């Protein structure tokens, strides 16, 4: 069997699965017509950005297994402007759902050049927003959103821009492409394959 490795820019509002019991929401099937590839990891419906899909079960397993601690990087738009104290809390780890998170890399980010989101985030004249870049080596349900809320800066928009060395780069929302040979070699090395 030939393995397939696909990078996809998941748009806002799309489920990270190929079917929907309610049959009303967009799924991966609306964008990717490839047999037997499945996402290695998830993004919430209200999150955007990079997904890796593959039919290689070992790659899927190792990408979601916390033992391998591969980094995932997000651009996060939050309410207000976090101070250094809040960034340090994220860097040290915060308690969410009664359990501490692992330390994260967190820094302020100049507003990035990103595609407009449909629908756009809510705009409030009296409440500024700021962008952060956060890199995690674990992946709990809605972790970034819970972390930024725990330090007092709710997430408004969340875009995963990297999984290890794989980058969203110039993929527009809804676009996908196959991994390059070089990307695949680095991925297998990272996953100890």
Residue 119: give the domain boundaries.
Answer: 71-163
d(CA 84, CA 110): 15
Which residue of the set 20, 30, 36, 44 is catalytic? 44
Active site residue 44: yes
CA distances from 129 to 35, 77, 124, 132, 161 (A): 41, 7, 9, 10, 19
> One digit per residue, pLDDT tens: the chain, 193 residues?
799 999 999 999 999 999 888 778 899 999 999 989 999 988 999 999 999 999 999 999 888 887 888 899 999 999 999 999 999 999 999 999 899 999 999 999 999 999 988 888 888 888 899 999 999 998 888 999 999 999 999 999 999 999 999 999 889 999 999 999 999 999 988 887 7
Whether residue 170 is preceded by a cis peptide bond, meaning omega within 30 degrees of 0, is no
DSSP string, 27-60: -GGGT---TT-EESS---TT-EEEEEEES-HHHH
Whether residue 44 sits in one domain with residue 87: no
First to last CA, the chain: 17
| 87 plus 133 within the same structural domain | yes
CATH of the domain at 185: 3.30.70.580
């Amino acid at each position: 069997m030939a393995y397939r490795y696909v990078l996809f820019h998941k748009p806002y509002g799309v489920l990270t699965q190929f079917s929907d019991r309610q049959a009303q929401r967009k799924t991966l099937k609306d964008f990717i017509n490839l047999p037997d590839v499945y996402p290695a990891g998830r993004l919430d419906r209200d999150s955007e950005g990079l997904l890796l899909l593959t039919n290689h079960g070992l790659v899927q397993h190792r990408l979601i297994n916390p033992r391998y601690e591969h980094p995932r990087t997000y651009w996060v738009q939050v309410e207000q402007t976090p101070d250094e104290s809040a960034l340090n809390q994220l860097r040290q780890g915060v308690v969410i759902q009664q359990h501490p998170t692992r330390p994260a890399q967190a820094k302020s980010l100049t507003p990035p050049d990103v595609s407009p989101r449909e629908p756009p985030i809510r705009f409030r004249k009296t409440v500024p927003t700021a962008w952060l870049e956060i890199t995690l080596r674990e992946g709990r349900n809605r972790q970034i959103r819970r972390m930024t809320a725990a330090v007092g800066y709710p997430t408004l928009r969340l875009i995963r821009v990297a999984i290890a060395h794989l980058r969203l780069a110039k993929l527009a929302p809804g676009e996908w492409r196959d991994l390059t040979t070089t990307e695949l070699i680095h991925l297998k090395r990272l996953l100890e394959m």
